[in-house]
Structure 1
Amino acid sequence: MKPHHKLAETKTPDGIPLTLEEHDGSFCIRINGLALMHSRATTSELHLGELAAGRLSAVRRPRVLIGGLGLGFTLRRVLESAGAEARVEVAELMPEVVEWNRTHMADLNGRLLDDRRVRVRVGDVWEIIGEAAASGTEGAEDRRYDAILIDIDNGPQDMVQKSNLRLYTNRGIAIMAAALRPGGRVAIWSAGTDTAFAHRLARAELQVEVVRAKPNAASRSRTYAIFVADKAGAEPKAPTTVQRSGAGRKHVSRGGGNARKSGRAR
């Protein structure tokens, strides 16, 4: 059996150990010893990028914000699909994760950080979203986004970083919606579905769809969820009703519901 090699380690702002490991050519970031992300289980991260890029085809020079660099797979898919004039910002709280991508994982996706379309912003994605939400007023530069992708937690109830909870509250959702341009889309990765969170998104006048995703291409079950929420364009969209829409998809109406989540480490 080939050994696991610890390549680097640091601590989160909450003081939790974060490590980068390599094993037989694959990479894994662990938090407190639990697998957070793995380079052999990337299907859902790629799917997240696809869902955002699918909204950008008709947008000239789209602006995209990716919250959480991770191993760079969502960034890869966005760059593959968003076009030559796209502007993609990557918000990463941990500078060490950016450095790990540039060095240890340069041949994985790290070199994408040097793409002329990409701007890496080391800091809290909450602050960056807040800046965008406050822009676009009369006489100010419009720094809102056509797509915002969030992949920083296990889901709306299972935080990697305690302060991230504010993103999933009614106020946080309202700020994300304000940070979108008309017709924009926010897509949020989760280890499991959460009906209450989906309804909070819908109550913010967003058109919501919950898309189930596989951990990897060989998986039979779609254990993960991606919350897709679209902002109305020039004309407001009618509220959706709860209905099945093909395999792995569900539309959400405004209303209550019970939350359910997966406990798997992200």
Structure 2
Amino acid sequence: MKRWMPERQNLSPLEQRVLDYLFDHPERVIRCKAEDLAKTLFVSTATISRTCQALGFRGFQELKYALQQELQRDPGGSEAPASFPLQQHVDRFRRDFEETIRRLDYEKIRQAAELIHESPRIEFFGVGNSLFPCLEAAKKLTFAGKWCNARTDWDDLEVTAQSMSGTDLAFLVSYSGETRSILHFARTLKANRVKMISLTGPHPNRLEKMADIALKGHMTDCCFGNLDLCSRFPMNLLLDLVIIEYIRRWKTPSQSGEP
């Protein structure tokens, strides 16, 4: 499978998403249909087909056969994390970091920092694994002197969304950008004319279309059964960059802790 990776740079972002999934979950891919894979990755079956053809295969069935042959030659390519070579996960983390940096939109980072500066109240909305980047970012911004919160209770989030106004700023964090509760909060916030910054994974989603600024991190799917092992560190990275830009531009050295 490693011989396919040089082709990655020639693929579209959606096709790269398909290739990354093939690389990380080969046993899962050989057991599924193209329609099932498309639903899992939020892409079309046409994208699956184009990816297969870009890799030199006539279609999805031919690619699955090649994957099966690869796994028979390399039994270490099992789906379960316990039997994956650790290097494969190291490569996944490195790829996520490098792709997030490569696609970084510096102007959006600047605009997001400016919204922080202009907003008297800032709230972070995230649930599940996406809550943790919110908690860390809210803590850092609080220490930087901004009034902000990352709430953990659903009822608190609901009341907060309803109480915010057009002078406030909301960060909405969701890997898929399709999380039902986050989309619900986003609709409430938009009705109240609250400025919104979305932070999602790389694929197109509804949340980014509702936001004033859409930040996107590259995160590769990784699951063990129903356990989501996809790392959210690209989200932490992007939030850190926004906070650092805010501190750099609007805090004095003594306030920001810089020498």
TM-score, with normalisation over the residues of structure 1?
A: 0.29
More helix by share: 2
Question: Greater CA radius of gyration, 1 or 2?
Answer: 2
More strand by share: 1
TM-score, with normalisation over the residues of structure 2?
A: 0.29
